[in-house]
Structure 1
Amino acid sequence: MKTKKYSNGEITILWKPDKCTHSGICVKTLPKVYNPKERPWVKPENAKTDELIDQVSKCPSGALSIK
């Protein structure tokens, strides 16, 4: 299973596209971080670390995790 990594220098967001159910919770919660129309589509530098941790914990599919 492929995993993509996005870091803000403090934490790294891991995204497993094969697990993603595209519920859109990430985009609705932190639209400045998650924008599927841009590349890279995850820009963790656009939010505080605690905001990222909170949002990732709400991912229903488990496609997003923190390292």
Structure 2
Amino acid sequence: MEIKRYEGKHATVTFDETTCIHAGRCVGRLPGVFNLERDPWINPDAADVDALEETIKACPSGALGISRKDR
């Protein structure tokens, strides 16, 4: 299992591809952050960190994680 890390100024987002069920909530809620047509596909700095955290908490599989740098 490889968990990928995406570093941002205010938060680090983690993604476990083996856990993801491709529900699409992340892409639907924050397409500026989660964009499958871009490499890397996650840009933590493309949204407010509070909105980012709420979107990650809504991930039904738990494949996404967040570590805020302001806490």
TM-score when normalising by structure 2: 0.89
User: What SS does structure 1 have at the residue aligned with 2:36?
Assistant: coil
Partner of 2:41: 41
Indicate the percent of aligned positions where both proteins have the same amino acid.
Answer: 39
Q: CA deviation at 1:6?
A: 1.0
1:30-62 residue CA offsets vs partner (Å, 9 max, x unmatched) = 001111121000011110110110100000000
Q: Which has the higher strand share?
A: 2
> What is the number of residues matched between the two proteins?
67
Task: State how 1:19-38 maps to structure 2 within 5 Å.
Answer: 19-38=19-38
Partner amino acid for 1:7? Answer: E
Gaps (5+ residues) in structure 1? none
Moved over 2 A (4+): none
Q: Which moved more, 1:3-12 or 1:55-64?
A: 3-12
Q: CA deviation at 1:22?
A: 0.6
Gaps (5+ residues) in structure 2? none
